[in-house]
Structure 1
Amino acid sequence: MYTNIFKGIFIKRYNRFLALVYVNNRLETVHIKNTSRCSEIFLPGTLCYLEKSLNPNRKTKYSLISAEKNGMLINLDSQIPNEIIYNAIVEGKILSNLKPTEIKREVKYKSSRFDISFFSENENKEYFLEVKGVSLEKNGIVAFPGSPTSRGKKHMDELVEAVKEGYGAIVVFLIQMKNVDLLIPNYNMDKDFTNALINAKKNNVLIMAYDSLVTKDNIELNKEVPVSFEEKYRNYF
C-alpha cells in the first residue's frame, strides 16, 4: 500500500499539516496526513514512519503515515480509511447481508458529499455510508473525534434526513490500530457531534466500528469492535 518507507524520530509539530522529523540523518519538515490533534502521539522522540514522495517538485519530501505509542503502531493517514472500507464492501468482507451493488465513492446528497453509496439488493433501496478514521486511544478504548468537527455533525444530521426520506444510512469508524476493546464518542472534545451521533443511532442510522492490522507499509481491515454510548464513558477522555 505504501512504498519508499523511512523510519523517523518525531521532533515537533508546527501546525495542522507540518511537523519537524529527524529522518535519513537530517531534520526534515514533513507533511502530516492527519489534522486531528494527536497530542498523545506526537511527542518529541516518538518513532514514526514516513513515505518519501517521488515528485521532485513537492515542497515536502516526506509524508508522515504512522507512529508508535506505547509500542503500538497507529496509522495516521486520514485519507486511507475510505479506501479500506470501500474495498471491504466490494470484496464482500463487510455488509454482505445487504447484497451491495452499484458501489460508488464520493456521492453528493443535498449539501453533503458522502464517502460511499450502494444499492442494497436485499432491502431494495440505496444506502449512504460515511467513514471516520480513529486514532485516539486510552487503555484499549478509542474515541472519535480527536478534534472538533462541525463537518462530522453535518454528516450525521444529513444521514438522519436520508433515512427519513427512505434511504439506508451507515457510519463506519475505522480504528487505525489493533487490539482495542471499545469505541465511544468523545463528548468532551465535541458534544455537538456526540449528540448528533446519538440522534443518528436513534433514527436507525447503523453505527459500526472495525479495528485494523497496521504495519509500517500497510493497513488492512481486521475485526468488528463494539460501539458504546453509555453515560459512564462520557468523561473518559
Structure 2
Amino acid sequence: MNFEGLEKAEVIKREKRFRLYVSFKGEEILTYLPNPGRLQGIIYPSATVYIRKRENEKRKTFYEAILGVQNGVLVSLNASLANKIFEENLFRFPVKIKEFRREFNYHGKRYDFLINNKILVEVKSVTLVEKGVGMFPDAPTIRGSEHLEFMKDWLFEKWVVFVVQREDAKIVKPHRDLDERFYRATQIFKRSGGIFWAFTCYVTHSGINFKEFIDVQV
C-alpha cells in the first residue's frame, strides 16, 4: 500500500477524536485524524506528523494525518487501513479463498469479513506498542468487546486479526489495564475455539507493507 504526497507538520493540539491542529508551512491548519484511539506517545503538542491533502477538497478538512513518529519508529495513523492491509496479505494465511465477503452481518453486528462462507473475521488496528508489546485497545471499546462476545456462538472457524501498523512489536496482548471487558471478551473468544493472528508492518514515507507474523498472548 502506497502513500503519496506526504509533507511534514508539527502537532499543535488535538480537538475531539478526529480533529488535529498542526503547524504546516508557517500556518495553523485543521487536519483530519483517522483514528479514534488515544495515540499516547504519538499525538501530542510538538509531535511530528506527516500529512497529505485530501482528494475531496469540498470537505471542511483539507488535510489528513497519515503517519506519526514514536521513538524514531513511523506509525500509520489510519485505523481503517487495517482491513485493506489484511486483504492485501490474505494470501499469507493458511486458507484457500473460494468466496470472500466484506461487512458480514451476524447477531445484528457487522463483522469485517466472511471467508468461504465459513470463517468469520474481525480485524483490529494496533498502534500502541510499549517495550515491544503491542496492545489493543488504546481506548476503551464497547463495540470491540461486543463483537468478540457474540463471536463465541459462531459454529465454524473464527479469527481475530491484529494488524500492527508499525514494525517494532514482538507480541500482541489485550490491554487489560485499560479495558477489562475487552480482555474478558478475548478469553471468551479463545475458549470458544477462536483463533488469534497478528502481524507487524514496515512503515515508510512511501507506504506500508507486511513485515512478519507475531504471537498473540491472551
Bucket of the pairwise TM-score, normalised by the shorter protein:
over 0.9
Letter in 2 for 1:111: G
Aligned to 1:234: none
Which secondary structure does the structure 1 equivalent of 2:169 belong to?
A: coil
Structure 1 stretches lacking a partner, 5+ long: 120-124, 230-237
- For the residues of structure 1 that align with 2:14 and 2:40, how far apart are their CA atoms? 9
Aligned to 2:128: 136
Aligned to 1:41: 42
Letter in 1 for 2:61: T
Which of 176, 194, 214 lines up with 1:187 in the alignment?
Answer: 176
Residue 198 of structure 1 deviates from its aligned partner by 1.4
Letter in 1 for 2:55: L
Letter in 1 for 2:142: S
Structure 2 stretches lacking a partner, 5+ long: none
User: Residue 170 in 1 paired to residue 159 in 2?
Assistant: yes
Residue 62 of structure 1 deviates from its aligned partner by 0.6
Which secondary structure does the structure 1 equivalent of 2:212 belong to?
A: strand
Aligned to 1:112: 109
Residue 54 of structure 1 deviates from its aligned partner by 3.0
Q: Is the 8 A contact 2:129 2:168 kept in 1?
A: no
Letter in 1 for 2:212: K
Letter in 1 for 2:123: V
User: Residue 98 in 1 paired to residue 99 in 2?
Assistant: no
User: Residue 84 in 1 paired to residue 85 in 2?
Assistant: yes
Provide the TM-score with structure 2 as the length reference. 0.95
Residue 75 of structure 1 deviates from its aligned partner by 0.6
Q: Is the 8 A contact 1:86 1:116 kept in 2?
A: no
Q: Is the 8 A contact 2:151 2:189 kept in 1?
A: yes
- For the residues of structure 2 that align with 1:161 and 1:207, how far apart are their CA atoms? 16
Residue 126 of structure 1 deviates from its aligned partner by 0.7
- Paired residues in the alignment total 217
Structure 1 range deviating more: 49-58 or 203-212 = 49-58
Aligned to 1:5: 6
The 5 A counterparts of 1:39-78 are 39-78=40-79
Which secondary structure does the structure 2 equivalent of 1:81 belong to?
A: helix
Query: Could you report, residue by residue, the CA deviation over 1:115-164 in whole angstroms, capped at 9, with x for unpaired residues?
Result: 11111xxxxx61110000001111111100000101001110121111xx
- For the residues of structure 2 that align with 1:228 and 1:54, how far apart are their CA atoms? 39
User: Residue 203 in 1 paired to residue 192 in 2?
Assistant: yes
- For the residues of structure 2 that align with 1:9 and 1:118, how far apart are their CA atoms? 41
Q: Is the 8 A contact 1:6 1:24 kept in 2?
A: no
Letter in 2 for 1:187: R
Residue 11 of structure 1 deviates from its aligned partner by 1.4
- Structure 1 residues 81, 197: closer, same or farther in 2, change over 3 A? same
The 5 A counterparts of 1:146-161 are 146-161=138-153
Residue 188 of structure 1 deviates from its aligned partner by 1.2
Aligned to 1:235: none
Aligned to 1:122: none
Aligned to 2:119: 127
Structure 1 segments, 4+ long, off by >3 Å, are: none
Query: Could you report, residue by residue, the CA deviation over 1:176-210 in whole angstroms, capped at 9, with x for unpaired residues?
Result: 10021111110111100110011111111001110
Q: Is the 8 A contact 1:179 1:211 kept in 2?
A: yes
Q: Is the 8 A contact 1:7 1:50 kept in 2?
A: yes
Aligned to 1:218: 207
% identical aligned pairs: 27
Q: Is the 8 A contact 2:137 2:175 kept in 1?
A: yes
